[in-house]
Amino acid sequence: MPRCPWATTEPAIAYHDEEWGVPVHDDRTLFEFLILEGAQAGLSWITILKKRENYRKAFDQFRAAKIARYGARDVKRLLADAGIVRNRLKIAATIQNAKAFLAVQEERGSFAVYLWSFVGGKPKQNRWRRMAQVPARTAESDAMSRELLRRAWSTITW
């Protein structure tokens, strides 16, 4: 199977071959992806992939209930952690987003069900031949973004 042009070195190759484009229905994994995407804002995805294990350790394996309770001492610890992107606003956004994530889980029973509702519960099957054909945004992604904003999801990271 041919790889996308961005998957040229590890860990991007493993991410491409094992995760990219694979439907996910696990709440914790979806939360991890959203937090890592936020951390990536302004940086390359390879930078975040290289720090992914450090993020898992620093953010309690992306357990939203624990992150939502982080206080000043946790923020100080994270700002001193060279294994992650040490940006106060991104750390604060992660804590806020954990709270918003838990609110969606409480309301919908599952964050995955909530996210999948934007595409009718099924993966979109695109047949792009070139990276230039892949849109940066879609009607579904715009609707999801608006809804997350309405639910107090922090966009400081986006």
**Annotation marks residue 45 as catalytic:** yes
Of these residues, 6, 20, 45, 116, which one is catalytic? 45
Homologous superfamily of the 12-150 domain (CATH):
Hypothetical protein; domain 2 (1.10.340.30)
**Annotation marks residue 158 as catalytic:** no
Could you tell me the CA-to-CA distances from 95 to 31, 41, 53, 63, 118 in Å, in that order? 12, 16, 18, 11, 24
Distance CA 84, CA 152 (A): 24
Dihedral sign for Cα atoms in the order 145, 34, 42, 14 = negative
Instruction: Return the number of other C-beta atoms located less than 10 Å from residue 96's C-beta.
Output: 17
Token pair 């982080």 is found at: 70
**Annotation marks residue 19 as catalytic:** no
Of these residues, 6, 15, 20, 116, which one is catalytic? 15
Could you tell me the CA-to-CA distances from 46 to 26, 40, 49, 126, 151 in Å, in that order? 23, 9, 5, 24, 29
Per-residue model confidence as pLDDT tens for the chain (158 residues): 689 888 999 999 999 999 998 999 999 999 999 999 999 988 999 999 999 999 999 999 999 999 999 999 999 999 999 999 999 999 999 999 999 999 999 999 999 999 999 999 999 888 888 889 989 999 999 999 999 999 988 876 54
Name the token pair of 53. Answer: 């294990």
Of these residues, 10, 19, 37, 140, which one is catalytic? 37
